[in-house]
């Protein structure tokens, strides 16, 4: 079914009977929202930053792009990961020590050590799977996507 009507294609508003573009008073870009006392829902500002960083890594790692998140910032985000985060996101890190190869950071304990770049381990703590082979070690398969 093709596009019908004389409005601009794809904007979802113009060109439809009874619809108009957002304008003053619609709340879009209104200055009274600039001072809104927003607070992260859980975990504070570090958790909010980690949330954004993880979603960015979801894209860059999946596309095989080079690391863009500075190691020092990634390590700061990892340092703020409380024990409830891996559990909440379904990351099974019990019995495993996660160890960054590019930073001075580790998490957990156990007979197996899973080593990888800090950004890949940030993904692991938030329940994501890294690219195949990253992180690496025996037992790392549960943290990587098979292709």
Number of domain units in the chain: 1
* H runs (alpha helix) in 20-43: none
CA-to-CA distance for 70 and 9, rounded, in angstroms? Answer: 40
Alpha-carbon distance values, 146 to 25, 65, 113, 136 (Å): 50, 18, 20, 13
Owning domain of residue 119 = 44-143
Residue 10 maps to a domain: no
Residues 77-115 pLDDT 10s: 999 888 888 998 888 888 889 999 999 999 988 888 888
In this structure, is residue 3 part of a structural domain? no
Among 125, 145, 130, which residue's Cα sits nearest to residue 51?
A: 125
User: Tokens 């113009």 sit at which residue?
Assistant: 14
Note whether residue 1 is domain-resident. Answer: no
Task: Look at residue 62 and tell me whether its pLDDT is greater than 90.
Answer: no
The reported pTM is 0.68
Q: Is residue 78 part of a domain?
A: yes
- CATH number of the domain residue 122 falls in: 3.30.1050
For residue 38, pLDDT over 80 is answered with: no
pLDDT at 20: 60
Quote the mean pLDDT of the chain: 76
């Amino acid at each position: 079914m093709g596009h019908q009507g004389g409005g601009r294609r794809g904007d979802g508003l113009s060109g439809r009977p009874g619809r108009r573009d957002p304008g003053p008073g619609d709340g879009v870009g209104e200055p009274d929202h600039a001072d809104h006392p927003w607070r992260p829902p859980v975990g504070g500002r570090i958790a909010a930053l980690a949330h954004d960083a993880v979603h960015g890594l979801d894209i860059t790692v999946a596309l095989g792009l080079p690391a863009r998140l500075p190691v020092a910032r990634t390590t700061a985000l990892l340092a703020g990961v409380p024990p409830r985060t891996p559990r909440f996101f379904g990351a099974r890190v019990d019995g495993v020590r996660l160890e960054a190869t590019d930073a001075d950071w580790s998490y957990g304990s156990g007979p197996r050590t899973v080593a990888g770049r800090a950004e890949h381990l940030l993904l692991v703590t938030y329940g994501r799977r890294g690219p195949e082979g990253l992180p690496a070690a025996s037992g790392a398969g549960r943290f990587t996507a098979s292709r």
